[in-house]
Amino acid sequence: MSPLVERWKRTKYTAAEDNCIHQIIESLASIPKIAKCQLFRVKDISGDKMLSKMQNWLMVSMLVGIYANNGFAADEKADNEERKYPFSVKFIDEDGKPIEGVKAGVTAYTGSEGSTLTTVDATGWRYWQGTTSNSDGIADFPDGQKETDHLCLVARQTDRKLCAIWKIDSAKLDPEKTPGILEIAMRLECRVSGKLACNDLSKRNRDIGWTNVYLNFGGNRAFGYSSNDQTFHFFVPPGEYELNPYGANLHQIDTQFSIKVGQRELDLGIIELPATRLALLVGEPAPKLEGIECWKNGPAVELENLKGKCVLVEFWGYWCGPCVYQMPELFKLYDKYHEEGLEIVSIHVDLGEDEDEPVDTVEKLDERLKNTRKDLWQGRDVPYPVGLVTGKRTSYSTSIETRKARSEMSAQYGVTSYPTLVLIDRQGNVVKRFAPHRPEDITLLEMLLRD
């Protein structure tokens, strides 16, 4: 796995953040120069509570420098060496005997998230930092890393249907603090399964699309299961667990369950999740642009006045790493398609109560973007209108209570992660959430522009 993805996997993001970052990572392979990996350590892409006063740290860490290929590779090599924290674990059965052939790792995944991981068990689960135990039950983790205390060590012996989940405690893996090899007892596994559903979308005959479910143990992430058929399953030992289910078009609603000793199957049935407001807006007139403090690059924009053109409404913030990283791609889109009828309207949402002072003037926004323009945008500024919104936590008004939106307009558009781009057709109706790095979305845009 690439260092970028490794850094993503070992950071505990919210579900919406993972969804956003997963999309951004897809587009990185062809980029010759990028901001240092700290870009992906942004902690408030989705609007969950931000660590107070951290926006300056974000900008500095994200813009440490733009590295040429050789310099970046050298920096990554040094960073990887510094992060390594090798350890070993001994897997035993309930009689204390060693277990050979255990596939183990620091978290495991199936579906799109785990596609690049190379340690795979007989049922297709892929293990990060994966390894296999020897005849003495010993599994070595030569590439272990220190920053894993928010994760779990997971293991399976598929032939014997045994498994283990251990909430990582780095002190117990440190030979200077805990002499000897840590022993982990494996238990008979229980298969936990279920399916996500959404009445909001099904009654409109709309697909739910991609979904993902995280399983947590003791507050730490253990597994992730992503699919396009909304199903999921996990293999777990007895214990108390939490699920974090969500989807590209679904809000996240957490749920808990327990597995008793000797239990071999648990069907959680249908888990109903509310659709995002954005998913429900497809085919409907785009909401008005309201609650804007001021505009940069021209007078106030009314979507009604843009009918006859294709519009991308972009929700972003100076504090959001993937937002400012993606911006040059939007500049290119604007340059290429503006004459064909594309308009981009940018909605900047600040950090609300986490700001020292609201970003409610063009001057304040320009000051916060000073380094970004210089180091990441090659001196260019946003060429299209930017509306400035002061953050205010607002309910999405779903049938089930969810996390709150970052602003009133974010709630109206169903924005659950940043950046979010909303494509609007020439008639003023919402088409979909747009991703500029996806070829199929570019093809759709070109088709709408030809109409």
Distance CA 302, CA 290 (A): 9
Is residue 442 included in any domain, yes or no?
yes
Q: What angle do CA 87, 1, 82 make, to 5 degrees?
A: 45
Is residue 133 included in any domain, yes or no?
no
Is residue 58 included in any domain, yes or no?
no
Determine if residue 397 is left, alpha or beta; phi over 0 gives left, psi from -120 to 50 gives alpha, anything else beta: left
The pLDDT of residue 148: 85
Grouping H, G, I as helix, E, B as strand and the rest as coil, residue 444 is: helix
Q: How far is CA 368 from the centre of its chain?
A: 24
Is residue 83 included in any domain, yes or no?
no
Grouping H, G, I as helix, E, B as strand and the rest as coil, residue 190 is: strand
Is residue 387 included in any domain, yes or no?
yes
Domain that holds residue 409: 277-450
Is residue 249 included in any domain, yes or no?
no
Is 117 within 8 Å of 61 (Cβ atoms)? no
Residue type for 183, please? Answer: E
Distance CA 75, CA 73 (A): 5
Averaged pLDDT score across all residues of the chain: 84
Is 75 within 8 Å of 36 (Cβ atoms)? yes
The continuous run of DSSP H or E covering 328 comes out as: helix 321-337
The pLDDT of residue 395: 86
Distance CA 103, CA 129 (A): 11
pLDDT in tens, 390-438: 999 888 876 556 678 899 999 999 998 899 999 999 999 999 999 998 8
Convert 389-410 into a string of H (helix), E (strand) and C (coil).
ECCCCECCCCCCCCCCECCHHH
The pLDDT of residue 73: 44
Distance CA 367, CA 63 (A): 15
How many C-beta atoms surround the C-beta of residue 410 within 10 A? 27
Task: Give the range among 54-68, 101-115, 254-268 with minimum mean pLDDT.
Answer: 54-68
Q: What sign for the dihedral angle of Cα 278, 284, 286, 287? A: negative
The pLDDT of residue 83: 56
The pLDDT of residue 9: 43
pLDDT at 328 over 90: yes
Tell me whether strands 342-349 and 386-389 are parallel, antiparallel or unpaired.
Answer: parallel
Confidence class of residue 282 from pLDDT cuts 50, 70 and 90?
Answer: very high
First vs last Cα of the chain: how many Å apart?
42
Residue 280, C-beta contacts closer than 8 angstroms, at least 6 positions apart: 200, 201, 204, 414
Distance CA 323, CA 61 (A): 15
Distance CA 446, CA 426 (A): 12
Burial code (b: 16+ CB inside 10 Å, e: under 16) for 303-330 equals beebeebbbbbbbbbbbbbbbbbbbeeb
Q: Which two tokens stand for residue 63?
A: 């813009």
Is residue 336 included in any domain, yes or no?
yes
pLDDT in tens, 346-388: 999 999 988 889 999 999 999 999 999 999 999 999 999 999 9
Q: What percentage of the chain reaches a pLDDT higher than 70? A: 80
pLDDT in tens, 116-130: 888 899 999 999 999
Q: Average pLDDT, stretch 256-285?
A: 96
The pLDDT of residue 305: 97
Q: Average pLDDT, stretch 432-449?
A: 94
Is 394 within 8 Å of 407 (Cβ atoms)? yes
Residue type for 164, please? Answer: A
Is residue 395 included in any domain, yes or no?
yes
Q: Average pLDDT, stretch 160-188?
A: 90
Q: Which two tokens stand for residue 308?
A: 């006859």
The pLDDT of residue 183: 96
Domain CATH for 284: 3.40.30.10
Q: How many domains does the chain have?
A: 1
Grouping H, G, I as helix, E, B as strand and the rest as coil, residue 214 is: strand
Q: What percentage of the chain reaches a pLDDT higher than 90? A: 68
Distance CA 301, CA 252 (A): 32
